[in-house]
Amino acid sequence: MNSTVLTILYTLLDGTCYLSHPFPQGYGTYTRSAFLFYFAYDGSIPFIVCDMKKHIAILGAGNMGTALAVVVAKAAPVVLWSVEADVVEAINDTAENPRYLPGVTLEKNVRATGTLADAVIDAQVILVAVPSHVVALVARSLAPLLNKKQIVVNVAKGVDETTLQPMVTVIRNALPRGMRGRVATLSGPSIANEFASGLPCAVTVAATTRPVAEAVCRALRSPRFRAIPSIDVLGTALGGTLKNMYALGLGMVDGLQLGMNAKAAMLTIALQELRLLFQALGAKPESAFVLSGIGDLVVTGMSEHSRNRRFGEEICLDASCRIKMKDPAQTIEGVKAVAAVAPFAHKKKLHLPLLFTIERVLFRNEDPKKALDAFFAHL
């Protein structure tokens, strides 16, 4: 079918407007100011699938949450929630978050609040971008504020240290039963400083049903920020968590100046171990070979911006940096993941020499050089 001119009637605060725009058969969008509509049609009669007049809430105004606000605000109004009053004030007064994303100007349709209800009520999509150790608390606070039309998206990367459940499951379990099918998770190679500055980025958005995943992708997607829908929730969530463990080891290679050959070898072994862990934790082994697996592993293990890689490097240069492992203000997700996953792997008698090497350096005070020399000697 050729393109058809559709006439859409809707009412703004200043009166009634008639808009016309050509769309091909299938899905189309029309944007005007902060209003965004999605249309689907069967070849003759259009109907609205998703009215994006409502804002998108982002819970957590750290580096990732603020960067997502930059991307999302191109399509819809954004409300950022933060418990840090100075961050809220800075965003509202200067359109910038100098603490977590300095030098990046936010769109005019972004505002910040310190009140959770202010951010959540009437939001179309709610992105949970807080550190993993507070996800459960935030999810419980979020639960009574939700309605059944909203979608909640986990962005945090981590697992519950007792149950090994990924954060998307932690959120789902905290919400009313009727909302659990409207929870998704986002993961993939996404260095916040890069995509916030307009560099290309692709991530996976996974939900138990494809329409929910696709709705989130439509809300986030822009020409340079590509969101790809999936129904592999467990694999997507685990990939975003487990790769942080191996980024620590890749950082140790940098700290010891062992070179790119050693780093490439370690990266390959890390991917093999990821496959084994995926299978042991109930996910598909092939989930290791997608954006949220190998994609995220590569960027987290290689980027200078990666907190986990940087900590692995620092521990080789200054053993006193171990104090960060016990500081709740220092979110090093890979350390928490090793503490949770390594005991499980020992219990299951999995052959994961790289993971166990990283564990010994972190929690048994083994010298990083001796540990990595022994690891490579036994390949």
Q: Is the model's pLDDT at 204 over the cut of 90?
A: yes
DSSP-assigned states of every residue in 72-137: HTTTS-EEEE-S-HHHHHHHHHHS-BTTTBTT-PPPTTEEEES-HHHHHTT-SEEEE-S-GGGHHH
First to last CA, the chain: 59
Give, in order, the Cα–Cα distances in Å from 371 to each of 12, 100, 316, 376: 65, 34, 11, 9
**pLDDT given for residue 5 in this prediction:** 35
- Residue 54's pLDDT band, with cuts at 50, 70 and 90, is confident
| Cα–Cα distance measured from residue 104 to residue 95, given in angstroms and rounded to the nearest whole number | 9
* Separation of alpha carbons 303 and 185, rounded Å: 23
pLDDT tens-place string over residues 56-115: 999 999 999 999 999 999 989 999 999 999 999 999 999 999 999 999 999 999 999 999
CA proximity to 66, closest of 77, 54, 58: 58
pLDDT for the residue numbered 52: 40
CB atoms within 10 A of CB 160: 18
Helices and strands in the chain: count of H runs, count of E runs = 14, 13
Amino acid 75: pLDDT: 87
Mind telling me the catalytic residues? 243
Fold of the 56-231 domain: Rossmann fold (3.40.50)
From the number of C-beta atoms within 10 Å of its C-beta (0-12, 13-18, 19+), residue 336 rates as: buried
Tell me the average pLDDT across 310-333: 77
Distance CA 248, CA 230 (A): 28
Beta pairing partners, 110: 78
pLDDT at position 324, please? 65
Rounded Cα gap, residues 254 and 322, in angstroms: 17
Fold entry, domain 241-377 = N-(1-d-carboxylethyl)-l-norvaline Dehydrogenase; domain 2 (1.10.1040)
Q: Angle between the 259-280 and 353-363 helix axes, to the nearest 10 degrees?
A: 100
Query: Which tokens is 77 given?
Result: 């109004």
With H, G, I as helix, E, B as strand and everything else as coil, classify residue 236.
helix
Residue 268 above 80 pLDDT?
yes
371: its two tokens = 């540990």
Non-local CB neighbours of 253 within 8 Å, separated by 6+ positions: 259, 262, 263, 266, 312, 372
Question: 0.75 exceeded by the pTM?
Answer: yes
What is the rounded CA–CA span in Å between residue 125 and residue 77?
Answer: 11
Domain ranges of the chain: 4-50, 56-231, 241-377
